[in-house]
Homo-oligomer: A and B are copies of this chain.
Amino acid sequence: MAMGRPRAFDADAALDQAMEVFWRHGYEGATIAQLTEAMSINPPSLYAAFGSKEGLLKAALDRYTAKRNCWMEGILSAPTAREVAERMLVGTADTQTDPANPPGCLLVQGGLACGTGSENVPFELAARRAETENQLRDRFVRAKAEGDLKESADPAALARYLSAVNAGMGVMASSGADREALRQVAAVSVKAFEEQSNS
């Protein structure tokens, strides 16, 4: 049997372009016209490949979180909980103000609240944020077992705290905070960790 005409565009490259549009305008603010233009394809190609606007978002998020998990590996491999926190927050300050991307974090910018019919989108983004939080929590459970965090420290609370600061930095970056400002936030935030660390 025949295999059909092959796809003429690179799906991953197209997803990177779509990611940028969602990042800059949010899910609801991004239009199919903007997406197809950025991806250099026509609507039927988009729908054949990704099914729907929401399907395209999920595919873009998969790609985003894949990169992010890779980035997180470098963070989580830090020797102590305090250094995990520092690398994470300083790294966030830098990536969220990287001129190569829109400011802020796609998982926050994408949409915290959506209109009727798109209620799934905020859930989807929240689930991806939760993944990072869980990675941090697991790392801090280990840090506690290793005696790196005090006996009184709560790994889940610390992970939630880092996740909150991370999201907050995303909000500030999206409204124009520069790298220096975010690094100051990171520096103050890390102090909360020193209280929880052994020496």
Interface residues of A (CB under 8 A from B): 23-26, 28-31, 34, 102, 104, 108-116, 118, 122-123, 125-126, 129-130, 154, 156-158, 160-161, 163-172, 174-177, 181, 184-185, 187-192, 194-196
Question: Are B168's CB and A113's CB within 8 A?
Answer: no
Question: Are A167's CB and B160's CB within 8 A?
Answer: no
Residues of B within 8 A of A123 (CB): 175
Q: Choose among B23, B102, B104, B115 the residue that contacts A30 (Cβ–Cβ < 8 A).
A: B115
Residues of B within 8 A of A191 (CB): 191-192, 195-196
Q: Choose among B113, B118, B171 the residue that contacts A164 (Cβ–Cβ < 8 A).
A: B171
Residues of B within 8 A of A115 (CB): 25-26, 28-31
Question: Are B176's CB and A160's CB within 8 A?
Answer: no
Residues of B within 8 A of A189 (CB): 161, 164-165, 189, 192
* Bound CA span A164–B104, Å: 12
Interface CB pairs A-B, < 8 A, 22: A23-B113, A25-B113, A26-B111, A29-B116, A31-B115, A104-B112, A109-B113, A126-B176, A157-B184, A161-B184, A161-B189, A164-B168, A164-B171, A164-B172, A164-B189, A165-B189, A167-B172, A168-B171, A189-B189, A191-B191, A191-B192, A195-B195
